[in-house]
Amino acid sequence: MLRLAILRHAEAVPQGTLDDSERPLTEAGREMSQRMGRYFRDEGLEPDLALVSPSLRTRETFEWFLRGAKRDVKAQFPPDLYNASLEGLEDLVAEAPEKAKFLLIIGHNPGFAEFAVALAGKGKKSELANLRRHFPTPCVAVIDFDTKSWKKASRSEGRLEYFVTRGALAKL
């Protein structure tokens, strides 16, 4: 079995004078990222590898996530992950190392929402409906696949195990 966590970055400062890739997290974004890490720790979710978009807001989301999780996770920062399309995300995950049984990816919409919806063909109906309705900052969809190869983790074959949004994190 393989497990994929699709984590949309936390709240960043609005677009303005900074280049989009250099927008930092807001204070609330840092706090929510740390809470997401605590959630992972409390649920026993321990990724083997993180693929993180090289944008500042995703790198900061990962940094604060690690603080909350109180553990290290090996990370790579592939340039193609910045604003990747559905097809680009499929290609990136297909190339993940076989030894990474639990992969965490941190990036951006609209690609991340499309990717999560495309992969999650099974799961609790109410959670699937929530996932399809909105993929806010930050949120995570954890999807399991009954395969041993990331190349075979394909559309509609995943089972949505967790879908956690900012609203749920605020209660932690």
pLDDT digits (tens, 9 = 90+) for 79-137: 999 999 999 999 999 999 999 999 999 999 999 999 999 999 999 999 999 999 999 99
Number of domains in the chain: 1
- Residue 38 binned pLDDT confidence (cut-offs 50, 70, 90): very high
Distance between CA atoms of residues 26 and 64, nearest Å: 12
Look up the domain containing 71 and give its range. 2-170
Residues contacting residue 144 through CB under 8 Å, at least 6 positions apart: 1, 2, 3, 4, 158, 159, 161
Q: What is the rounded (10 degree) CA torsion for 150, 102, 92, 12?
A: 150
CATH of the domain at 158: 3.40.50.1240
Residue 34: per-residue pLDDT? 96
CB-CB contact of 29 with 12 (8 Å): yes
